[in-house]
Amino acid sequence: MTDTPIILPFGMNDLVEIAAMEKMLFDDPLDADRLMKKAARSTIVGWTVRVPCTSVIIGYLLCDVRYKSIRIVRIAVAPKFRRRGLGSILMRWLHGLVTMLWLYVDGFHVPVYAAVDPGRRIARRFLKKHGFSRVRKMKNGKYLYRRIYEIASI
């Protein structure tokens, strides 16, 4: 990759491309219909990382904004672009979202949750690096991670 990738807000037009990436990367892929339904309820906010000249999506972060908390629905970077800081750049955009959500919550803390398969060691290491800690094992076998963002720390 010679050009610096660009970050754009996630839009409905990205669903098909993201669903194709999901199929490649996950055993439990999010399909375009499921994402469309969520997005139509306006609870999904996200960003895509793209190669500038082709605009092909090489990474994305999708978040579900809930009442007083945020859930990371998915964060993914295409295998050949990993370990170059793109996932971390997406996490920085999450900080902005937290700041916005804070306008609607009481106090100075916004919990952000992410559910990860125990076998995804790199994803778990990635979350730890970004300040998340394991809270518990969920009924579906995934580990629930949480970071409580303090507004002062952003």
Interaction mask 5-34, ligand COA, x per CB under 6 A: --------------------x---------
CB 57 within 8 A of CB 101: no
Residue 60 tokens, joined:
């994305």
In this chain, which residue has its C-beta nearest to ligand COA?
A: 87
Q: Does 126 bind ligand COA (CB under 6 A)?
A: yes
Of 105 and 113, CB closest to ligand COA: 113
Going edge to edge, which strands form the sheet with 57-66? Answer: 6-9, 44-50, 57-66, 69-77, 109-116, 143-150, 133-137
Of 105 and 120, CB closest to ligand COA: 120
Which among 12, 1, 18 is positioned nearest to 52, based on CA atoms?
1
Which of 18, 21, 30, 75 binds ligand COA (CB under 6 A)? It is 75
Which of 11, 85, 96, 118 binds ligand COA (CB under 6 A)? It is 85
User: Which one of 4-12, 63-71, 84-92, 95-103 is the stretch in contact with ligand COA (CB under 6 A)?
Assistant: 84-92
Residues within the interface to ligand COA (CB under 6 A): 25, 74-77, 82-88, 116, 120, 122-123, 125-126, 129
